[in-house]
């Protein structure tokens, strides 16, 4: 035996087409009009964002649509400063979990509109419990990135 072991390099890349279902389809269609719509569970009364067709707590169907606010509160956040394949943005950038006014669960999305050159300065501007507001893209296609980011409300 030579003690050598070579590497076979390969790549698994496959095309996908993911069915959204009616509820998610409508949720994203409302984005085109800059509306954020959730669904309210008739049993536990929670307003769910993104809108769902069923409540996993009560385990029943949900079909009451309610509009939630464009503003919300940062539940937690992170400044991302590393890279991985398939990443949606060049680092550094900020991701937060935002609880929109009128919703009972949080939505993970970008936080923007703040300078990214100094993490310590950043931490003064982006804080847990502070308000942020949705900033929409000019051209909207009906997906989660129609909201460009959430920016701090001064």
Partner 1 sequence: MTQAVAIIGTGQTECGKRDDVSYPELIHEAVRRAFEASGLEAEDIEAVVSGSMPPAMEGVANPHLYWVDAMGAANKPLIRTATCGSTGMSLAHTCFYHVASGLFDLVMVIGAEKMYEGDPQGTMATVADPFFQRPFLAGAPGIFSLQSNEWAHRYGLEEKRVRMAAAQLSVRNHNDALLNPYAHIKVKTTVEDVLASRVIAYPVRMLDVCPGSDGACALIMASEKMVKKLGIKTPAWVRGIGYCGEEAFFGEGDKVVWQSAINAAKGAYKQAGISNPRKELDVAEVYNPFTFQEMLFYECFGFCDFGKACELVEQEVVMKGGDLPCDPSGGTLCTNPIGATGLQRTAEIVLQVTKKAGERQIPGAKTGLAHAMGGLDQFNGVMIISNTLQ
Partner 2 sequence: MEQEVAIVDAVQTRHGSALKENIREIMFSTVRQLLNRVGIEKSEIGTMVSSSSDYWQGISCSNSYYYDAAGANLKSGSKAAEDSALGFHYGAMRILSGHYKTVLVTSITKCSEAPPVDTLTHLATDPFFQRPVGLNETISTALQAKAYLHRFELNEEDLAGVPIKNLANAQNNPNAHRKGVLSLDDVLASPTMASPLREIDVPNTSDGACAILLATKEVAKDLTKRPVFVQGLGWNVSETFLGDRDLLNGSLPKAAKMAYKMANIEKPLDDIDVAEICDTTSFNEILWTEQLGFCAPGKGTDLLKDGITSMGGALPVNPSGGLFGANPYVARGLIRIAEIALQLKGEGEKRQVPDAKRGLAHSVHGLGGQLHSVVVLGV
Q: Which does 45 bind (CB under 5 to 8 A by kind): partner 1, partner 2, none?
A: none
- How are the residues of the chain apportioned to helix, strand and coil, as percentages rounded to the nearest 5? 15, 30, 55
Bridge-based pairing of strands 147-152 and 93-100 is unpaired
Structure tokens at 86: 């398939």
Q: Is residue 12 within the footprint of partner 1 (CB under 8 A)?
A: yes
Among 3, 5, 18, 84, binds partner 1 (CB under 8 A): 18
C-beta closer to partner 2: residue 61 or 81:
81
- Calpha distance 144→109 (Å, rounded): 9
φ/ψ of residue 103, rounded to 5? -105, 155
Q: Which residues of the chain form contacts with partner 2 (CB under 8 A)?
A: 5, 10, 12, 16, 18, 20, 24, 28, 48-50, 56, 75-82, 84-89, 95-97, 99, 105-110, 119, 123, 128, 143-145
Among 14, 33, 117, 129, binds partner 1 (CB under 8 A): 14
Q: Is residue 21 within the footprint of partner 1 (CB under 8 A)?
A: yes
- Calpha distance 19→25 (Å, rounded): 9
């Amino acid at each position: 035996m030579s003690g050598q072991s070579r590497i076979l390099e390969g790549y698994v890349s496959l095309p996908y087409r993911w069915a959204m279902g009616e509820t998610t389809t409508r949720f994203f269609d409302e984005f085109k009009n800059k509306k954020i719509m959730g669904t309210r569970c008739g049993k536990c009364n929670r307003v769910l964002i993104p809108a769902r067709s069923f409540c996993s707590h009560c385990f029943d169907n949900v079909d009451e649509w309610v509009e939630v606010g464009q503003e919300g509160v940062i539940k937690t956040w992170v400044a991302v400063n590393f890279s991985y394949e398939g990443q949606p943005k060049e680092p550094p950038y900020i991701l937060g979990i935002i609880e929109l006014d009128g919703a009972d669960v949080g939505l993970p999305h970008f936080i923007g509109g703040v300078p990214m050159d100094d993490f310590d300065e950043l931490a003064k501007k982006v804080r847990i419990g502070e308000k942020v507001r949705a900033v929409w893209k000019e051209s909207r296609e009906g997906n989660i990135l129609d909201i460009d980011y959430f920016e701090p409300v001064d």
